[in-house]
Amino acid sequence: MPNSFSIIPSNVMNKLAIAEIVECNKITSRYGLILSQADALELVATRSEALSNYGRIEFTGGIINKLVIRFADSPFLSKHNYVTTLNDLIETFYYFKNETLDEISDDELISFMKNYFDHRCQGSIELLQIRELEALARNVRYGISDYENIYNDDEEVFDEEVYDE
Amino acid sequence: MNNLETQPKIDRKDLDQSDYFQSVLQESYRLNLLSVAEYENIQVQSIQLLAKQVHRYTGGESSSLKVETAQSIMQSIYYIIGIYLKSFPDADKCVAVLKQKPLQELHQHGKTIIAEQLKSAKQLLINVQCDGFITDNQAYNDTIQDGIPPFFSDYDAQFAAHDTPASIDYPLCNDKMNLVGIEYVLNYLETLCLENKFLNFFSIHAINRLLQSFNDHYRDLLINIFELVLTNALACVWVNKNSIHLNIEPVEREYLKEKLLKLSNVELTNHLHEALLQLCVELDISDHLLQKHMAEIIPDLSARLKNSLENNSLDSIFISFKEHQLQPVLFQEGTKMDDELFRSIVEEIKECRYVSDKIAIIQAEIHSISDLSDILAGYCIFNDEFRAIFESLGDMELALLLKMLPTDNTIDSDIHFTENEKDWHDRLNTFLNQLDLSRQKRIRKLVETIVFQKT
């Protein structure tokens, strides 16, 4: 039926996406980070799963590439935790796209994630998800224009009652 | 030489008006007017169109979006294409267009049509607001003044063309509820224009008396005025009376009953058509659209007539004007006391041991009917004390209290009152029913004549 979205064969799309991801190795290899075909396939599978879990749909790829390139220079990534972290980052990304009510653009969200991951979270995905991005999402939902300001006045940001009034 | 016309393969009646594009597709696929390859091509094109619209929707800043949002955008695309396809008189032509032109182009044409429809709907709303038909039916006024105007600012012709962000309460005669979006609003306004055009042949006074006789609470009811007026006008034609009076006397109704009982279903329908024609001649109605809209009432009316003739309830269809209303008694309420004082009085009454003391306080302190009703519902009067208090009141006070009571016709009266309020309402009703008949009658008559005047 015309209202189903899975018209374009997914295997064709996946092959394209995998090729694009592997292509990123050219940039990331200087940091000692390399993704194999199997790794790329895993990342694509994670993306599909995250999209379906969070009730989202994607038309143009590129999120995985953006994450790979943006996070390549992170001091907390090594070849040992590279693939796992990327998987987590992909899932986190789509989760917080929902939580921020689509108010933040892809690039902006990725750049927040990178910034928090490298500094406040010191490479901890848990802290990134539970503390920083949660606070960011809350600020966005409360309609605070200065939503990225989650450090300076923690008291105010975390005290929900202040905004309930 | 005779011109042979080809029989259209797709019957327009089989198509879903709110999902026109999709039903054209399904129907043509079912009848093999589209090959599998063509069908798939259209599907791929619609996905591409969706991707493009999504890109526009997110401003290119987000590669993904929620499934519901995407579905809504998709529906909007189908709706817009459907509007363009509807501009072709027959559905077979639609299939040809679908085969020849890219969807993107059809979408573009659809958007142009929507822009034009929006423009004409805006003009129609102005026409309806200024066409001189005035009524105090709340649903009508709310719809025209507050329900439809926000539609023009809230309607999203790009991404949610199938939505109808308007609050439309006033029902039309033969409302086309299967339409959505701008099509519905445009059709609603066009029909309303026609209905008002018809109603303007009658005096506002006659219409108001008819509505009043139909139901005392006609202001709050969701009724179609056109239908009521047209029905009585047709009955006037049958009894050879000038239709602008609208009134059908009980004797005339009896005559109609005798006359109509003998008719079969077909005869009744024919009879209605004849009366309608005569009415059009009498009122000099030449507008074909209006005539057509008037005729649309016939199938439903003839069924209702048949039913009411069988059940001997013709008075619910052909309405007789009620006797002239008594001279109204205008009641202007005293000023309500402030909350602080009211609370202290409630406390004082609560502390009284004897009901005589309570009555004394009420008589001395309470000067407005709303305060009195608040006291009655204020947890300070109990059981038999109500009776004693009602006994201390005069006819006028009782009538005023009675006027505040919900009647059977008040919609959802049950949910608007607290248990305490319902309690004193019941007690007042019981008290009144126990009064002697002449006083009861006097009080009820007073209730009918009282009109609360807003301060």
pLDDT band at residue B3 using 50, 70 and 90 as cut-offs: low
Same domain, B60 and B107: yes
Q: Do B66 and A98 touch (CB under 8 A)?
A: yes
End-to-end CA distance of chain B: 79
Query: What is the distance, to the nearest Å, from the Cα of residue A79 to the centroid of all Cα atoms in its chain?
Result: 19
pLDDT band at residue B326 using 50, 70 and 90 as cut-offs: low
Using a CB-CB cut-off of 8 Å, the residues of chain B touching A100 are none
A22 in any annotated domain: yes
A2 in any annotated domain: no
What does the CA dihedral A101, A104, A107, A112 come to, rounded to 10 degrees?
-100
Q: How far apart are CA B135 and CA B218, in angstroms?
A: 10
Q: Do A55 and B63 touch (CB under 8 A)?
A: no
Q: Do A57 and B67 touch (CB under 8 A)?
A: yes
Q: Which two tokens stand for residue A137?
A: 């999402």
Same domain, B26 and B57: yes
Angle at B201 between CA B281 and CA B240, to 5 degrees: 50
Determine which helix (DSSP H) or strand (DSSP E) holds B450, and give its type and residue range. strand B450-453
pLDDT digits (tens, 9 = 90+) for B169-211: 999 998 888 899 999 999 999 999 999 999 999 998 899 999 9
DSSP-derived pairing of the beta strands B450-453 and B329-332 = parallel
From A5, A55, A102, residue closest to B47, measured CB to CB: A5
B323 in any annotated domain: no
Quote the pLDDT of residue B384. Answer: 86
Q: Closest chain A residue to B77 measured between Cα atoms?
A: A3
Q: Closest chain A residue to B22 measured between Cα atoms?
A: A2
From B40, B61, B67, residue closest to A56, measured CB to CB: B67
From A55, A57, A106, residue closest to B61, measured CB to CB: A106
Q: Which of A10, A58, A59 to mutate to test the interface with B (most CBs of B within 10 A)?
A: A59
Domain range for A113: 10-164
Q: Do A7 and B43 touch (CB under 8 A)?
A: yes
A4 in any annotated domain: no
Q: What is the ipTM of this complex?
A: 0.81
B324 in any annotated domain: no
Q: Do B44 and A7 touch (CB under 8 A)?
A: yes
Find out whether B358 and B389 touch, Cβ atoms under 8 Å.
Answer: yes
Q: CB pairs below 8 Å between A and B: how many?
A: 65
From A3, A63, A108, residue closest to B63, measured CB to CB: A63
pLDDT digits (tens, 9 = 90+) for A101-148: 999 999 999 999 999 999 999 999 999 999 999 999 999 999 888 888
Find out whether B316 and B438 touch, Cβ atoms under 8 Å.
Answer: no
Quote the pLDDT of residue B324. Answer: 64
Find out whether B147 and B169 touch, Cβ atoms under 8 Å.
Answer: yes
Q: Do A60 and B51 touch (CB under 8 A)?
A: yes
Q: Which residues of B250-261 are buried (b: 16+ CB within 10 A; e: fewer)?
A: eebbeebeeebe
A1 in any annotated domain: no
Q: Do A3 and B74 touch (CB under 8 A)?
A: yes
Same domain, B92 and B129: no
B161 in any annotated domain: yes
- On the 0-12 / 13-18 / 19+ scale of CB atoms within 10 A, B144 is buried
Same domain, B285 and B340: no
B5 in any annotated domain: no
pLDDT digits (tens, 9 = 90+) for A37-71: 999 999 999 999 999 999 999 877 679 999 999 99
Same domain, B190 and B265: no
Same domain, B307 and B379: no
Same domain, B370 and B447: yes
Give me the number of domains chain B comprises. 4
Domain range for B47: 12-113
Domain boundary among B295, B316, B337: B316
Nearest to B346 by CA among B383, B379, B369: B379
Domain boundary among B96, B113, B130: B113
Q: How far apart are CA B86 and CA B134, in angstroms?
A: 35
Same domain, B29 and B108: yes
Nearest to A142 by CA among A123, A121, A122, A157: A157
B6 in any annotated domain: no
Task: Name residue B303's amino acid.
Answer: A
Same domain, B140 and B164: yes
B→A contacts (Cβ < 8 Å), by residue, are 22, 25, 40, 42-44, 46-47, 50-51, 54-55, 58, 61-71, 74-75, 78
Same domain, B407 and B363: yes
- On the 0-12 / 13-18 / 19+ scale of CB atoms within 10 A, A22 is middle
A123 in any annotated domain: yes
pLDDT at B451 over 80: no
Domain boundary among B199, B222, B237: B199
Q: Which of B50, B63, B68, B77 to mutate to test the interface with A (most CBs of A within 10 A)?
A: B63
Positive/negative CA dihedral, B64, A94, A56, A8: positive
Same domain, B37 and B130: no
Give me the number of domains chain A comprises. 1
Q: Do B64 and A98 touch (CB under 8 A)?
A: no
pLDDT digits (tens, 9 = 90+) for B113-148: 999 999 999 999 999 998 878 898 999 999 999 999
Q: How far apart are CA A41 and CA A52, in angstroms?
A: 17
The SS3 assignment for B330 reads: strand
